[in-house]
Amino acid sequence: MTDLKTMYRELGIDEEIFRLGEKTERDLSERFEAIDRTAEICQMKVIAAFQKNRVSTECFETSTGYGYNDLGRDMLEAVYADVFHTESALVRAQITCGTHALALAMSANVLPGDEILSPVGKPYDTLEQVIGIVPAPGSLSEYGVSYRQVDLLPDNSFDYEGIRKAINEKTKLVEIQRSKGYLTRPTFSVEQIGSLITFIKSIKPDVICMVDNCYGEFVEMKEPSDVGADLVVGSLIKNPGGGLAPIGGYIAGRADLVERCAYRLTSPGLGREVGASLGVSRSFYQGLFFAPTVVASALKGAIFAANLYEPLGFSCIPSASEERHDIIQAVTLGSPEKVIAFCRGIQAGSPVDSYVTPEPWAMPGYHSDVIMAAGAFYQGSSIELSADGPIEPPYAVYFQGGLTWAHAKFGILKSLQSLKDAGLLCVPAVCNERENVV
């Protein structure tokens, strides 16, 4: 019978990198056990929501056209509301991506003359045109909505005094981005987000606090909606879709705010009554069911990556030993060539399009050329093994996903192998300097 080392060698992983991976995995056994325990708790939360709402096989039937009386669609939204402990939820295939979900939630709940505040600095690149920081047709600024941001302090903590001064009579919605985007700041924990929301509400109780929850679902036992967020927003081709949802997004929160989102998504007077499920209901349900364990696999992959790359001299955010609050691992590689080599390794480790060579290109909504590695079953699915990064200083790459731990592990080893094969890293020389690595 072929042993594991031989299998890895046949897939392009040399012995030095294989042995480094095995040592790193052994060292992480206790942390991996803790991740599995969190996943078990989140799994029970999902099962409880399914059972409370009496999910049945009839929920998997499809609807077309207007989608009136779609039992599965409406039931799924009730399940999401229970999973996130909110009054209501909107979960639709018609929400095309995370950016669309965020744009929908903001545009539905602000009016001309209102102001949006980001208390965590610059938002994700694709939101700049939504808000109007970068001029774009249809932006919120074109409709008379203003924007203000408060940058983080040098230690990446919240500038509470700056936030206090920024909140004014026009402040209608506060947008809190949980994950780092293309920044090298830490991701915020649910506890940190709760403290920030409590502070903001103490100044202006009626302000809407919306959390961009992308990449964070099921990483912790609680969600931002458990600590005061009025709206939590995310994409189904990230964590909550479990790798099975082919499209879609969700908005969960206060019933009146979610209802406005439904009217904005379809039209005034129609709201959530229309919107056919088009055959995706089963995938949405099953993806949510799998999501806690899929997220656990991705989380193990992120921690494994940091514990491989940091001892080799690369700055990692989060660091190898830090707690995790999302599935993204940022690795500062320091040069365009290393970013490209890393991404090509991830692509080569993918089950789909593994033979494709990714190249940087000018993607819509981004400031600079971006390279993306994603040999995924669903285009752009970042709960699947993927990596991407802008080709600009400090030349950091952002790794995420992995539907299974074994695949996440293999992909990360392929990224290291790619750097070595390109002559950009000498793994054996570094290993020999580390006690008991090989």
The residue assigned the tokens 């707690």 is 323
Whether residues 71 and 167 share a domain: the answer is yes
Which of 268, 288, 308 marks a domain boundary?
288
Distance of alpha carbon 148 from alpha carbon 169, whole angstroms: 13
Whether residues 262 and 327 share a domain: the answer is no
- Which H or E run contains 175? strand 171-177
Distance of alpha carbon 280 from alpha carbon 270, whole angstroms: 21
User: What is the residue range of 246's domain?
Assistant: 62-288
The residue assigned the tokens 């993927």 is 386
Per-residue pLDDT reduced to its tens digit, 192-204: 999 999 999 999 9
CATH number of the domain where residue 151 is located: 3.40.640.10
Question: Are 375 and 385 spatial neighbours (Cβ–Cβ below 8 Å)?
Answer: yes
> How do the residues of the chain divide into helix, strand and coil, expressed in percent and rounded to 5?
45, 15, 45
The answer as to whether 307 is a domain residue is yes
Per-residue pLDDT reduced to its tens digit, 114-138: 999 999 999 988 899 999 999 999 9
Whether residues 206 and 309 share a domain: the answer is no
CA dihedral 285, 288, 293, 294 (to 10 degrees): 100
Whether residues 26 and 150 share a domain: the answer is no
Whether residues 143 and 187 share a domain: the answer is yes
Distance of alpha carbon 329 from alpha carbon 349, whole angstroms: 17
The answer as to whether 17 is a domain residue is yes
Q: What rounded mean pLDDT belongs to the chain? A: 95
Whether residues 136 and 271 share a domain: the answer is yes
Question: Are 25 and 31 spatial neighbours (Cβ–Cβ below 8 Å)?
Answer: no
CATH number of the domain where residue 26 is located: 3.90.1150.60
Determine the 3-state secondary structure of 321 from DSSP.
Answer: coil
CA dihedral 34, 434, 314, 363 (to 10 degrees): -70
Which of 269, 288, 307 marks a domain boundary?
288
Whether residues 214 and 246 share a domain: the answer is yes
Whether residues 264 and 300 share a domain: the answer is no
The answer as to whether 47 is a domain residue is no
The residue assigned the tokens 């969960």 is 252
The answer as to whether 180 is a domain residue is yes
- What value does the mean pLDDT take over residues 412-417? 98
Whether residues 119 and 256 share a domain: the answer is yes
Whether residues 150 and 21 share a domain: the answer is no
- Which H or E run contains 342? helix 336-348
CA 288 from centroid of its chain's CA atoms: 15
The answer as to whether 414 is a domain residue is yes
User: Closest by alpha carbon to 326, among 429, 241, 238, 229?
Assistant: 238
Q: How many domains does the chain have?
A: 2
Strand-pair category, 370-373 with 386-390: antiparallel
The answer as to whether 49 is a domain residue is no
Distance of alpha carbon 145 from alpha carbon 131, whole angstroms: 8
The answer as to whether 438 is a domain residue is no
Which of 251, 266, 288 marks a domain boundary?
288
Whether residues 191 and 333 share a domain: the answer is no
Whether residues 165 and 153 share a domain: the answer is yes
- The pair of three-digit structure tokens given for residue 51, joined into one six-digit string: 């059972």
Residue 387 has pLDDT above 80, yes or no: yes
- DSSP class of 30: H
Taking CA atoms, 148 is separated from 115, 119, 159, in Å, by 7, 9, 14
Per-residue pLDDT reduced to its tens digit, 75-114: 999 999 999 999 999 999 999 999 999 999 999 999 999 9
Per-residue pLDDT reduced to its tens digit, 233-275: 999 999 999 999 999 999 999 999 999 999 999 999 999 999 9
pTM of the model: 0.94
The answer as to whether 326 is a domain residue is yes
